[in-house]
Amino acid sequence: MDLFKNIGEIISKYYIWLLEGVGYTLLVSLISTIIGLIIGILIGIYRTLPAPKNKFLRVLKKIGDVILSVYIEVFRGTPMMVQAMVIFWGFALLNDGKTLNVIFSGMLIVSINTGAYMAEIVRGGIISVDKGQTEGAAAIGMTHFQTMMRVVLPQALRNIMPSVANEFVINIKDTSVLNVIGFTELFFQAKSIVSSNLLTFETYLLVAAIYFVLTFTITRILRLIEKKMDGDKNYVVLGSQNMDANAYAREKNIGGGKQNG
């Protein structure tokens, strides 16, 4: 059949282009997801800071909150393709037509965009951690910062892992919009291939298959990682016999049994 023959030919002729596209797509989506997550975590920490006692600092914090909301709303409320054009050409305008490095621009745009979504995801994750966890930490004298780093964020991050994985998969697909600034990710490569071989359908069918394989495998891998993070289902009880407090109390003769009156 012609279809398979043609696809086979595209692969054998353009595999270097395709591999380069896959490489850039994975690179920009992986790095941007990580940077976006870091942005989200920092914003999450900032937003859950206890209100400062000092009046001036309190106003400053409020201003920061407003700036962050504007950032989040604007980047969630406009298409990433438009953001890419505005940032890329905006930079050129401000620098006498000198454009920013395309690879750097691509990462910058996707990171900032992802950060806006991650901020909300992290916020949800932090809120989902039971307030008792914070009180438990406060009760042993931990500071707000220690509580965040040791108790709240680890649990929040575990809880939001599925959403973070989801953002990563979305980024793999959505980095295709970076073709508008000439970023040589997979979709851009497909366009280039089509312009030289004119096999539009076959080329995009092949590229669709590649995108699917990427997102499918990555979803599975991330699920495995999640499972690993949860640790063993069972634990080992040390020592041969299993003592409860009553048995312990009897053994040590320290008063015991039920105290109900």
* 50 lies in the binding site for other proteins (CB under 8 A): no
* 201 lies in the binding site for other proteins (CB under 8 A): no
Please report which helix (H) or strand (E) contains residue 136, including its range. helix 131-139
Cβ atoms within 10 A of the Cβ of 194, count? 17
Report CA-CA distances (Å) from 201 to 83, 173, 197.
29, 19, 11
* 48 lies in the binding site for other proteins (CB under 8 A): no
* 58 lies in the binding site for other proteins (CB under 8 A): no
| Among the listed residues 151, 169, 218, 222, the single contact to other proteins using CB under 8 A | 151
* 126 lies in the binding site for other proteins (CB under 8 A): no
- Residue 52 or residue 90: which is nearer to other proteins going by CB? 52
In the complex, what is the shortest distance from the CB of residue 252 to other proteins, in angstroms, rounded to a whole number? Answer: 8
* 128 lies in the binding site for other proteins (CB under 8 A): no
Candidates 7-15, 58-66, 135-143, 215-223 — which segment interacts with other proteins by CB under 8 A?
Answer: 135-143
Report CA-CA distances (Å) from 183 to 20, 24, 46, 145, 175.
11, 8, 33, 40, 9
Candidates 15-23, 110-118, 127-135, 166-174 — which segment interacts with other proteins by CB under 8 A?
Answer: 127-135
In the complex, what is the shortest distance from the CB of residue 143 to other proteins, in angstroms, rounded to a whole number? Answer: 5
What does the block give as tokens for 16? 């270097």
- Residue 16 or residue 236: which is nearer to other proteins going by CB? 236
**Sign of the alpha-carbon dihedral angle for 206, 212, 215, 217:** negative
| Among the listed residues 6, 99, 133, 163, the single contact to other proteins using CB under 8 A | 133
3-state percent helix, strand, coil for the chain, nearest multiple of 5:
80, 0, 20
Residues 10-39 that bind other proteins (CB under 8 A): none
- Is residue 33 within 8 A of residue 171, CB to CB? The reply is yes
| Among the listed residues 6, 99, 155, 197, the single contact to other proteins using CB under 8 A | 155
Give the Cα separation of 162 and 232 in Å (integer). 19
Give the Cα separation of 155 and 148 in Å (integer). 10
- Residue 11 or residue 247: which is nearer to other proteins going by CB? 247
φ, ψ of residue 234 in degrees (nearest 5): -115, 160
- Residue 155 or residue 215: which is nearer to other proteins going by CB? 155
- Residue 221 or residue 243: which is nearer to other proteins going by CB? 243
Give the Cα separation of 218 and 18 in Å (integer). 18
Give the Cα separation of 40 and 160 in Å (integer). 12
Amino acid present at 171: N
Candidates 84-92, 176-184, 204-212, 251-259 — which segment interacts with other proteins by CB under 8 A?
Answer: 251-259
Footprint on this chain of other proteins (rule: CB under 8 A): 130, 132-133, 135-143, 146, 150-151, 154-155, 158, 231, 234-239, 242-249, 252, 254-261
